[in-house]
Structure formats: C-alpha cells, structure tokens
C-alpha cells in the first residue's frame, strides 16, 4: 500500500517550525558576559578590576580576610548552565574561588568553589576536597563536612594544573547541581541542593584570604 503526503499549500509546516524556534528561544537565554569596568559589579568585601591577559578580558578579585563577592549587575540566574575559566594558586588554605548564584544578598546564596591547592595534593584526604558546594548562611563547609561527609565536596577529574587556567561547567536544574571540569564527561560533583534561597543574583566568589581570576563567562539560563 502506498501513502502520499498531501501538499502543504498554506505554509503550515513553516509556521510550525517558526513556532518551535520561538518557544526554544524563550526557554534558553545565552549570555556571554563582557565586563568593561568595575562599575559592572556590586562588590562585597573585595575590590574588583578588569585586566587583559593574552588579548582576553580577565576579572580579578583581590585578597582580603573573609569571603568576598562581585555580583554581576543586571544579570539573573535560576536554572541553566554556567561556564567559566578560572585560575587560582597553589598556596595552602589561600585559594578558594568559584561562582556564587541564587543570591539574595551578601550573606544568603549558594556557591560552587574550588581549592586549587588540593588538586594534586599527595594526601588523598585533601584531594577529595577539591570542589565544594555551600548554601549560606545555614550550610557552610564545616557543617556540611561534619554532617554530610564527602557528599558536598569531591575531587576533580581530570585534574587541572593548580596554578593554571581550568574550565568549569556548572549545571543547575531544580533539584540537581552538577560540576564538570576541563571537559570531563562525568561530573566531578553531583549533588542535591539543601535549600532554595529564592535568589537570582550571580557573581564571582572568593573565600577567606583568597584572590581569583576568571574569564570567558557564559551563562545559559533555562526559564523552566
């Protein structure tokens, strides 16, 4: 038995494709952050500067006691993916850096951060403390390590150079957060968030006594 397609004379097929494209465009909003000056940020406990390295813009946060954040002005994030290149330093307890998101204010937010000084540590216990999730103010790393040992912090694979640039991809989808490093096919960290802050701010984060460098930030927000 033969089947014949009925000619489409009213352009309905084209309209369906256009409608699908419009739906997809409203679901995903890619943003390549181009920071020009320090005025593009709202900072907490840090000074931020923009420098050029090998022709690329680099966001730099200086070193101070306590944590610090550079919130990106006019940028919101709830679900989706965050990709960024990060560079810290191989100095014990002096290099904590990553991305804060779901921010409500300077003390209420979630964050994924790295400890480059643990990337290649000979002590296996330190190596599994290379990437960390926190949910402040209730769940900072000491409480998570005590009550949820090795659940919200893991080693990284593949292992980056602790003094060089490495690429991080953070996927945030409702009840799931996954972190991939340097194009790894398996997540270095895969967790279920503990709370939902309801915040939408996103920014660059450093921990106590740390500075940090970031470049090539790409945010793809999913409206679902």
Task: Tell me, yes or no, whether 14 lies in a domain.
Answer: no
Task: Tell me, yes or no, whether 198 lies in a domain.
Answer: yes
Task: Tell me, yes or no, whether 1 lies in a domain.
Answer: no
Per the model's pLDDT, the better-predicted residue between 182 and 224 turns out to be 182
User: Which three-class secondary structure state does DSSP give residue 132?
Assistant: strand
**Total residue count of the chain as it appears in this document:** 224
Lowest mean pLDDT, pick from 25-29, 56-60, 167-171: 25-29
Task: Tell me, yes or no, whether 12 lies in a domain.
Answer: no
Nearest Cα residue to 99 out of 219, 3, 222, 223? 219
Tally the domains of the chain: 1
Element (H, E) at 146: helix 141-147
pLDDT per residue over 148-197, tens digit each?
999 999 999 999 999 999 999 999 999 999 999 999 999 999 999 998 89
Distances in Å between the Cα of 75 and the Cα atoms of 84, 110, 123 are: 15, 16, 39
Average pLDDT across the chain, whole number: 88
CATH of the domain at 209: 2.60.120.560
Buried b (16+ CB within 10 A) or exposed e, 72-91: beebebbebbbbbbbbbbbe
Task: Tell me, yes or no, whether 155 lies in a domain.
Answer: yes
Name residue, tokens 């943003």. Answer: 31
Residue 38 is predicted with a pLDDT of: 93
Give the residue numbers spanning the domain of 135: 30-222
Task: Tell me, yes or no, whether 159 lies in a domain.
Answer: yes
Task: Tell me, yes or no, whether 124 lies in a domain.
Answer: yes
Task: Tell me, yes or no, whether 7 lies in a domain.
Answer: no
Which stretches of 88-200 are assigned E, i.e. beta strand?
Answer: 97-103, 109-114, 131-136, 153-154, 166-173, 176-181, 189-191
């Amino acid at each position: 038995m033969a089947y014949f397609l009925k000619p489409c004379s009213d352009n309905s097929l084209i309209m369906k494709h256009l409608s699908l494209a419009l739906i997809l465009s409203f679901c995903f909003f890619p943003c390549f952050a181009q920071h020009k000056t320090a005025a593009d940020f709202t900072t907490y406990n840090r000074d931020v500067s923009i420098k050029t390295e090998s022709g690329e813009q680099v966001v730099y946060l200086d070193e101070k006691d306590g944590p610090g954040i550079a919130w990106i002005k006019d940028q919101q994030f709830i679900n989706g993916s965050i990709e960024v290149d990060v560079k810290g330093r191989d100095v014990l307890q002096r290099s904590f850096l990553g991305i804060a998101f779901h921010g409500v204010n300077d003390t209420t937010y979630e964050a994924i951060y790295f400890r480059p000084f643990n990337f290649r540590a000979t002590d296996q216990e330190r190596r599994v403390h290379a990437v960390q999730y926190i949910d402040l103010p209730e769940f900072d790393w000491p409480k998570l390590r005590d009550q949820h040992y090795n659940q919200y912090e893991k080693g990284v694979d593949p292992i980056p150079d602790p003094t060089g640039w490495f690429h991080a991809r953070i996927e945030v989808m409702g009840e799931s957060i996954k972190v991939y490093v340097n194009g790894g096919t398996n997540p270095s960290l895969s967790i279920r968030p503990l709370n939902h802050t309801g915040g939408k701010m996103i920014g660059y984060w450093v921990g106590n006594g740390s500075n940090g460098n970031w470049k090539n930030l790409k945010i793809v927000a999913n409206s679902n």
